[in-house]
Structure 1
Amino acid sequence: MALSDGDARSGVTMARRLGVSRFWLALACVLFSAPIAANETAEPSATELIEGLLSGREPVGGPFELTDQTGHRRTDADFQGKLVVIYFGYTYCPDVCPTELQSISLALDKLGAAADTVQPLFITVDPGRDTPARLADFVSSFHPRLIGLTGSLAEIRKTAIAYRTFFAKNGATTADHYSVDHTGFIYLLGKDGRYLGFLPPSLSPDAIADAIRARLGAK
């Protein structure tokens, strides 16, 4: 039976509730789903995004222009010259996002002086609530060089799709009370801004540090 986009969304929610790694959930989506029909809209489905990332057959990354936690517009070009570590999440995330960002922060600490050439970025998938002020308060709990980025929903969606990241509101009870289902990969960009690869969720700080260290020589 083909895995529908709705099934993929349900799977992300179930993985979050049961504590199952989204990486293995995503891999299962690829291995056990038949080709899916074209979407009625131009936007790719959750399954298409995940399959494109894991298969390596689709381009990942690209230019973006977003707003940082100080209210300044930032583009991908601002970070060239450093190895960039990107994580998509949201500030109201109860556990997964803070845990992943803490692991990234600890990994940078483990790199010592080598981390001076690494730039961590946190891109929200909840731009409606994650204002620059909200991001400023949130990122202050993690690595001092962590930059939070937000923007319009269209800007965030465009950036997320470029990085093969799925996100969608879930369980909304009011306009301001909801969770956001999203894939939780860590993306690495070379000093020239080109995509180097991704890391699965739930890696230890040591494993993240080793992966970054192995790529520090890349352009």
Structure 2
Amino acid sequence: MNMHANPSPLLAAALALALTSCGGAETGTGTATLEPPLAGATIGGDFALTGSEGETVRWSDFAGQYRIVYFGYAYCPDICPTDMQRTVQGLGKFAQAEPALAANVQPIFITIDPARDTREVVDEFTSAFSEDLIGLTGSEAEVADAAAKFGVYYVKGEESESGGYLMDHSRIVFLFDPEGEPLAMLPADEGADAVAQELSKWVT
């Protein structure tokens, strides 16, 4: 079974600060909306990665859109596909209830295994879940730079005799606002309904 690490120390500190200083918003009417759990956390930043057509894709290209961001890898045998499926399904459920709002949410998958995850491999992986899911790869240095800006930990596992290996990495589904500021973590581990409910709190 593929093992995934806890958030990096830098990200863990930022999350702890955000979660202790901010409350979560409640859905429904007649309730004041509080700050998002990740408000003020230093997560995210511009990157230069490669899209499915070989084009350069930057964080700033998504200005004006809510963004769902997940770092994983296409050869992951279990957790990454499950997280992606639940996240995309959750976004779909949210779209059924709020189609106009959901249309402004862009899901993004960024590989942490660029040695194997070429743009063709990443495109095949993301297309299995949704044509709307953007997959990004890049050089080792470009991926490392992006992961560092998002506080994502990853390390290559030991290779088998056949040359295969697993990647140990953070398991977090981030939600960012249209300005690129972090809002919350989507609970993909709890299923699609939980993801949809969390999106309904922050996508307005």
What residue in structure 1 maps to residue 12 of structure 2?
A: 50
Is the 2:65–2:178 Cα contact (8 Å) retained in structure 1? yes
1:198 aligns with 2:181: no
What residue in structure 2 maps to residue 134 of structure 1?
A: 121
Shift of 1:197: 2.6
The correspondence of residues 1-219 of structure 1 with structure 2, limited to 5 A, is: 16=2, 26=6, 46-56=8-18, 59-112=42-95, 113=99, 114-173=101-160, 176-200=163-187, 202-217=189-204
Is the 1:52–1:164 Cα contact (8 Å) retained in structure 2? no
- 2: distance between equivalents of 1:68 and 1:199? 24
- 2: distance between equivalents of 1:63 and 1:198? 19
Shift of 1:201: 5.1
The superposition leaves residues 48-97 of structure 1 with CA deviations (integer Å, 9 ceiling, x where unpaired) of 44344444486111111110122111111111111100011000000100
Extract unaligned runs of 5+ from structure 1: 1-12, 28-45
SS state at 2:189 partner: coil
- 1: distance between equivalents of 2:11 and 2:132? 29
Is the 2:188–2:194 Cα contact (8 Å) retained in structure 1? no
Q: Greater RCO between the two (CA within 8 Å, min separation 6)?
A: 2
- 1: distance between equivalents of 2:77 and 2:198? 26
Extract unaligned runs of 5+ from structure 2: 19-39
The superposition leaves residues 84-128 of structure 1 with CA deviations (integer Å, 9 ceiling, x where unpaired) of 000110000001000000001101110121321110000000011
Is the 2:68–2:106 Cα contact (8 Å) retained in structure 1? yes
Tell me the percent identity. 35
**RMSD of equivalent CA atoms:** 2.2
With the length of structure 2 as denominator, give the TM-score of the two structures: 0.79
- 2: distance between equivalents of 1:198 and 1:176? 34
Shift of 1:154: 1.0
Q: Which has the higher helix share?
A: 1
Code of the aligned partner of 1:103 = R
Is the 2:74–2:117 Cα contact (8 Å) retained in structure 1? yes
With the length of structure 1 as denominator, give the TM-score of the two structures: 0.74
- 2: distance between equivalents of 1:73 and 1:206? 34
Deviation >4 Å, runs of 4+: none
